[in-house]
Amino acid sequence: MSARPLQPQTDRDAAPAEAVAPLPPVAGAAPVAGPTRRPRGRSWIGVARPLAPRRRLALTLLSFLIPLGLWAAVSYLPFLWHPLVEVTDPGDVPWMEPGMRVPRAAFAEEVTAAGSAGTAAPVGRSANPVYLPAPHEVATAFWSALTAPPPQRDAIWLPASLWHSIQIIFWGFTLSSLVGVPLGILCGAQPTIARLTEPVIEFVRYLPAPAFGALMVAILGIYDGPKIAIIVIGTFFQQVLVIANTTRRVDPLLVEAALTMGSRNLRLIRRVIVPAVLPQIYRDQRILLGWAWTYLIVAELIGTSSGITFFITQQARYQHFDNVYAAILVIGLVGIATDIALALIGRRLFPYARAEA
């Protein structure tokens, strides 16, 4: 007699589980509510994703239009600030002249005094201080400064002064980069060199560059030498540290692979490390060039007055603040145009790393 094989027990053959009856409600107790989920609002901080081209363009325009709109509102809306009164008709007030700007309280006193004395009262309109010209006045001054020679005999032309300042920036930043970039790469690639140089660089970078002005004049004279030196001092020490930190971001596995294949010392730096960080170094140089422009005004005040700084101080002496604002805008436009041009060149040089370049 053969044994009958056992059949596997299925879910239908299993005994039904005994149903558990719900507990009776307790008298006077509040019913227990189930778990509820609070509606989650949309988070405005999350994973960074590239913006759509139209949105990027709109936000870029808004970044300029918002401060321009605030400036226009303060300039053209009389109920926003306007602490002065510009005299259009002095009346019988002897010390007033057309175009003079006086405080509101003084103007009101003269109007009241003229009314009491029965003389002609002055007439004026609300105005801002002379150091806050309206946007259209700055635009007019901007065009006139670029196209027409200055009306003052001893004044300088804005394009000529701007070109002189660009030369100061070029030579100062070039000299700084010729030493700062190689030294920064060495510091980032070799810890011994970094420990030998970075502590003193960390100390010197906190010293204000203008403090060396008198010393640079004594060494280099009163012309463009000390101005270029201030640009070098203001950018060199920051440059070494920034480039060194960028160089340290090289993938260690890449360096180990190159060492395994026989690369050593300068060949390792030239063939492996520099190509790996070159797009980031290019981006760092763009940022550091902006720092050089921030030292320009102070640098050009050292020694003989020259460049766009001399134009700004001279126009401020004549109280032509519309020309002062125009010159400041020129500096910003040259800086942003240079940065955009360098960004476009970086995309052509490093198409594989557009985010870095």
DSSP state of 352: G
CA distance 263 to 267: 6
* Furthest-apart CA atoms within the chain: distance in Å: 143
Average pLDDT over residues 280-291: 93
CA 221 and chain centroid, separation: 33
Handedness of CA 130, 131, 132, 133 (dihedral sign): positive
Tell me: the pLDDT tens digits for 299-322?
888 877 788 988 998 888 888 999
Kindly report the number of other CB atoms within 10 A of residue 321's CB atom.
19
Tell me: the pLDDT tens digits for 169-214?
999 999 999 999 999 999 999 999 999 999 999 999 999 988 998 8
* CB environment 112-148: b (16+ within 10 A), e (fewer): eebeeeeeebbebeebbeeeebbeebbeebbebbeee
* Amino acid identity at 243: I
Kindly report the number of other CB atoms within 10 A of residue 226's CB atom.
24
Residue with tokens 């405080």, as numbered in its chain: 103
Whole-model pTM?
0.78
Say what the pLDDT of residue 314 is: 87
The most confident of the ranges 153-167, 234-248, 257-271 is: 234-248
Say what the pLDDT of residue 25 is: 56
